[in-house]
Structure 1
Amino acid sequence: MMNKLTSRMILVSFTLFLSFSLSSPSFPTIHELLRSKGLPAGLLPQEVDSYKLHQDGRLEVFLEAPCFTEYETNVYFDSIVRANLSYGSLVGVEGFKQQELFLWLSVIDIVVENPNSGVIIFDIGVATKQLSLSLFEDPPKCRPQQDQGVLKKMMRRVRGFEAL
């Protein structure tokens, strides 16, 4: 009698544990984490595989592969993006570049000083750039790295600069 009762208790406990762990994720997604820290979810692409947030605020984000997307200009993400995360900012960013004219410049800091302003500030070293927060509401879809060569070739043809 005691064995049946113990077996049932274990089975019920296991079932409750399993249903609870499946219904509520123990870790937020990177996009939920960004929102909880006062940053827009669309700062990082959909293709994030995983991330590590260290106790000292260092954030490491792992993507499937290096890729390109576009906000106001073209943006490049390395396969690992690193930064120091605090409320409203990513400081000391590595693995995130933005195209300005014909140059690829590293994004150094990303700051939302006042969420009510609707502005996000990108520090690209030589300048700071203010962009609308609305550009970063949803995580963008990222194009694989090899697609960028095809895009450049198509743009040269359209502009009349096709190599002979």
Structure 2
Amino acid sequence: MAIFRHKHTLILTLLCVLLHFSQSVPESSIHELLKSKGLPAGLLPKEVESFTLYDTGLLEVFLRGPCLTKFDTMAFYESTIRANLTYGSLTGVEGFSQEELFLWLPVKDIIVDDPKSGLILFDIGLAHKQLSLSLFEDPPDCKSEDILNLKNRSRKEIGFHAQM
């Protein structure tokens, strides 16, 4: 009988450990997570299917597919977005770009230094862009139709042909 109890205790302990490590963030929405980290909920679209936040701070966000939305300019999300999440910032962003002067530029960092300022900083490589936090209050709808056509059209208008 003692062996039977020890096996159950061991199994329960292993299950608890597995559950703890498989879910590093309590079951909540990505938008709630962003707000808890001092970032606006509308940085990511409504179409987020799942996300994982690792102990290292790496955040992986999975969408239903690539999609487009608009803030001050057009924004493109790939199916997977990765960034290092710390309080008030997403750094080393991958999978998110914005259209600037008919070019699609990758967003590298997103920073809210002072929430009271009402501004959010986007590092798009060539420049830093300050936008109103109010643009990102609510998660946007993201459209997936004709994504490639829109991105390719922008390149062709200025003489760049899409490289496939």
State the TM bucket, normalised to the shorter chain: 0.7 to 0.9
Gaps of 5+ in 2: 1-25, 154-164
Counterparts of 1:96 and 1:150, CA distance in 2: 15
Alpha-carbon distance in 1 for matches of 2:138, 2:151: 23
State how far apart, in whole Å, the 2-side matches of 1:126 and 1:106 are: 10
> What is the CA deviation profile of residues 105-151 of structure 1, one whole-angstrom value per residue up to 9, with x for unaligned ones?
00000000000000000000000000000000000000104256379
Distance in 2 between the 1:147 and 1:76 partners?
8
- Counterpart in 1 of 2:39? 39
Change over 3 Å in CA distance of 1:88–1:150 after alignment to 2: closer
Partner of 2:146: 146
Say what the alpha-carbon RMSD is for the aligned residues.
Answer: 1.7
Question: Matched residue of 1:144: which SS?
Answer: coil
TM-score, structure 1 normalization: 0.74
Rg comparison, structure with higher value: 1
Residue aligning to 1:77 = 77
1:147 and 1:52 map into 2 onto residues whose CA distance is 26
Distance 2:29 2:148 in 1: 27
TM-score, with normalisation over the residues of structure 2? 0.74
Question: 1:22 maps to which residue?
Answer: none
Aligned residue identity for 2:68:
F
Tell me, in whole angstroms, the C-alpha distance in 2 between the residues paired with 1:97 and 1:48: 17
- Gaps spanning 5+ residues in structure 1: where? 1-25, 154-164
Residue of structure 1 equivalent to 2:21: none
2:93 and 2:35 mapped to 1: Cα distance?
18
Identity of aligned residues (%): 59
